[in-house]
A and B are shown apart, each in its own frame.
Chain A
């Protein structure tokens, strides 16, 4: 088996865009090539494209050849689309890793994104009714996730004493981290007071506890180690371990609302393959779709004991200078969340952190982690990257 490296990455501007899905895929692809001018579209022998709502919001299927054509890429080993809603991007990276590792391809671009703002503002809310179990959960009005995550938050607060202030602190930290991220949806700090006084969406979740709806795309390029050494002068970043787990889909079959079993399984798989433990992680990008998610992720990734996630944020342990800085580029709460783009954006930030050229750099970071949840916390994806192989 070969080793796999991440050699370039970039994204379009994320936010409410006056641009089509195809425009943003072009912007993201170009940004990835600009990140590492030694690599060109002629070097790419595989293309994996991710988008969850491409049919619904852009009326476009068979997306990969369209993206290939618009970026001047002529893939010969793989050219297809993947989908796992909010973890679409990370799923593409897992598959690219497997293909390169096994010798089925040498250099793969994984590119993902969404056009979610359509002329009718209700459209995306309605489309979300296709993301859970359409007949048995979504028929109950459960598609847009706030009611589900509010129910998670209420139970976590009751069980472990987590407070609304602790939830708000996650949002304040991530907005601060996203302040200088020029391609994120927001570059504005918020205060704890603002977060706590923002309008309720589903109590206890308020406006700033929820990530926004976002247009955008991101692209990352992976290569076999020997190719990577030839293609780039930048420090090599290895993809060391991956895990993706699911144990249920609809809410009725959720084994535990406050301990996310598939997250623990995916993390253990990734740690095992990478030969590391939670203690070895220097920087992490986790799925902060809601503030409560990030708090549970600290716990179930093993950054702290179960039930202590609220204290982990309160004591600054997930901030710069803490145990493990989390969502150093702003996360979903500040960058936004174009589903297919998110896992890729996280991978790019970890690549930059490990290369040492991040906007907000964690000094000396050698091992980084990304985590996505998808659906109503029904599937979890964990990837571990390292500057070293061991």
Chain B
């Protein structure tokens, strides 16, 4: 079945970059990230800090938002290591960890430059 498709099947990834000024209003998140800052938006009206960053506050719907830094160190709560079925564009093993950033947010993120068994829970 795949024979007739040889060389003809298009691989459709994201059709345009989602992280650029032309395509998203939260592009400062990516600009900050490139500068080594992990940031999100905080509402100047109600004080709500949201993640992911927003152009409108999901709490009070104000558009008066500012960029604030998030902690870059946290405690590792859970580690998972995907050994089979890793999606295209990611390497096997695909390692994730649930990181507690000091109580307000727990982010489940992709861990890079790490081998199976290397990252320990509780660190």
Shortest Cβ distance from residue A251 to the other chain B in the assembled complex, whole angstroms: 4
Q: Which of B12-67 contact A (CB under 8 A)?
A: 18-19, 24, 51-52
Size bin of chain A's contact surface: 35 or more
Known A-B contacts A150-B80, A155-B78, A251-B107; the reply to A141 vs B51 at CB < 8 A is no
Contact of A144 among B51, B52, B87 (CB under 8 A): B87
| Contact of B2 with A by CB under 8 A | yes
| Contact of B86 with A by CB under 8 A | yes
| Contact of A200 with B by CB under 8 A | yes
Taking each of B24, B83, B87, which has the highest tally of chain A beta carbons within 10 Å of its own beta carbon? B87
Q: Which residue of A lies closest to B97 (CB)?
A: A151
Contact of B87 among A137, A143, A202, A253 (CB under 8 A): A143
| Contact of A119 with B by CB under 8 A | yes
Taking each of A125, A143, A147, A251, which has the highest tally of chain B beta carbons within 10 Å of its own beta carbon? A147
Main secondary structure on chain B at its contact with chain A? Answer: loop
Binds B, one of A90-98, A127-135, A227-235, A301-309: A127-135
Shortest Cβ distance from residue B35 to the other chain A in the assembled complex, whole angstroms: 18
Q: Are A144 and B85 in touch, CB under 8 angstroms?
A: yes
Provide a sorted-by-A list of 17 A–B residue pairs whose CB atoms are within 8 angstroms.
A119-B2, A125-B86, A125-B87, A126-B87, A142-B108, A144-B87, A147-B82, A150-B80, A151-B78, A151-B80, A151-B98, A151-B108, A199-B84, A201-B83, A203-B80, A250-B52, A253-B51
Interface residues of B (CB under 8 A from A): 1-2, 5, 9, 18-19, 24, 51-52, 77-78, 80-90, 94, 96, 98, 105-110
Given contacts A119-B1, A136-B52, A200-B84, 10 further A-B pairs with CB under 8 A are: A120-B9, A125-B88, A133-B52, A136-B51, A141-B94, A142-B108, A148-B108, A150-B80, A250-B51, A251-B98
Interface residues of A (CB under 8 A from B): 119-120, 122, 125-126, 128-129, 133-137, 140-144, 146-148, 150-151, 154-155, 199-203, 250-254, 257
